Amino acid sequence: MRISQFSEIGVSAIAVIASAGLASPAFAQDADAAAVQAELQQMRAQMQAMASRIDTLEAQLETANAKADAAAETSSTALATAEAAKSETKISWKGAPEIETKSGWSFKPRGRLQYDAGVISAPDMEKDIDDGFGNEARRVRLGVQGDMPGGFSYKFEADFAKSEIEIADAFIGYEDGGLKLAIGHQNNFQSLEELTSSLNISFMERAAFTDAFGFERRVGASAAYKAGDLLVQGGVFTANIHETGENKQWGADGRVVFAPKTGNTQLHFGGSLHYTDLDGDVSSVSYSQRPFVHFTSTKFIKASVAGASEETGYGLEAAAIRGPLHFSGEAHWQSVSRPGLADPTFFGASAEVGYFLTRGDTRGYKNGIFDRVKPANPVDKGGMGALQVNLRYDRLDLNDAGIVGGTQDGYALSLIWMPTNYTRFMVNYGRMEYSDAVIATAGDATSYGVDAFGARAQIDF
């Protein structure tokens, strides 16, 4: 029952009682009927005013309740929207936080730090060389990568290890099923060793021919298609991003990989073809290499080719992984066209075998290259991580067509400890045997040996 209805009943009841009292003869004798009637009317008016006020308060209460309900509904809607937005975003940890949304966006910071130190021991030379103890920050990289709606992606990474900042990867990608496209500064498709990240190679430096023949990132457009065990890659490229303003060269690279898996054995067979137009302004090219480690500037072999107009390269690759054991081998021929002169063809090759001493560990492999090693029993899980030993033979021949740049036969040993997925420590020893070296000893010999020892500490995210 509403308060106003109760008030009206109360007023009526008082009126009835009052009327009954007025009807008694005793009251009629002691009071003035008109005065009593006036008083009763005043009381009835006050009660009606009170009832009206109560109605007003009830209306205000209903309005307040309606506003409160609306506010609660708005709050609930906002909370639901926030919860929905939260459920759209996923944050995972892959060495660094990776943020992903269901709409196709993702963002991940990335970086690596590699610090090298070691010693080079060489015979007394006819001139000063950079031997003895050396050390350097080999790579100090920071960058970002991620995906965008529609199948697009991006990657940018810069290296701060040298006095000037160098751009590593800087490209926009697109992926649809087995097709991948990329435009920007990126790796060419030149060899298994070159395309394998420096985070995952078996020694501190790649095989000698990869540096000697100038394998590096360049600006261009590329495409790759993977169907089952077959991978086909190709692209057209100009110069390195730091040389594009002054270097007019352009080239094309192609690579085919067949990577079947037989039982527990991962196989890899590949071949590549490379062409570079050096442009009319380029009159010479040179090919050279350091003795196994990077922290020295001395190069004992070097071939300078004058009048060069084009480079053509051919490469073959083979590898196998079975449990803790892996093998890989490559050969590469680099031919230089010299109008009016004999065309030299230089040769480089390497072969390595590696074995994990820790149970359950194996070398990673993905999309035609060696991938990250993930220890079966990492230190953060109470294990000792992964321990691997590797042996390598490395050949580089820069003698041909009357050009004597020297030959290098390298014999190398490495021991790698990987405590976790993202940490690595390694020690390397290399013996370089030179013939026709461009730097002679104090006794005027050009055939001699150089020993190199190096160690690296590495983290990445």
8 A C-beta contact, residue 371 and residue 416 = no
Statement to judge: residues 60 and 118 lie in one domain: no
Statement to judge: residues 288 and 143 lie in one domain: yes
pLDDT confidence of residue 24 = 46
Domain range for 9 is 3-87
Statement to judge: residues 19 and 61 lie in one domain: yes
pLDDT confidence of residue 156 = 98
Pairing of strands 386-400, 345-356: antiparallel
pTM reported for the whole predicted model: 0.81
Structurally, the chain folds into a number of domains equal to 2
pLDDT confidence of residue 84 = 57
At which of 87, 114, 132 does a domain end? 87
Provide the CATH number for the domain around residue 239: 2.40.160.10
Q: How far apart are the first and last CA of the chain?
A: 72
Task: Read off φ and ψ for residue 447, nearest 5 degrees.
Answer: -120, 120
pLDDT in tens, 83-112: 655 568 899 988 899 999 989 999 999 999
Statement to judge: residues 342 and 415 lie in one domain: yes
Statement to judge: residues 156 and 41 lie in one domain: no
pLDDT confidence of residue 35 = 76
Pairing of strands 218-227, 179-186: antiparallel
Q: How many CB atoms lie within 10 A of CB 390?
A: 21
pLDDT confidence of residue 412 = 98
Statement to judge: residues 52 and 162 lie in one domain: no
pLDDT in tens, 444-458: 999 999 999 999 999
pLDDT confidence of residue 223 = 98
Statement to judge: residues 16 and 147 lie in one domain: no
pLDDT confidence of residue 283 = 73
Statement to judge: residues 188 and 227 lie in one domain: yes
| pLDDT < 50 positions in the chain | 1-28
pLDDT confidence of residue 31 = 53
Statement to judge: residues 106 and 69 lie in one domain: no
Nearest to 186 by CA among 212, 155, 162, 140: 155
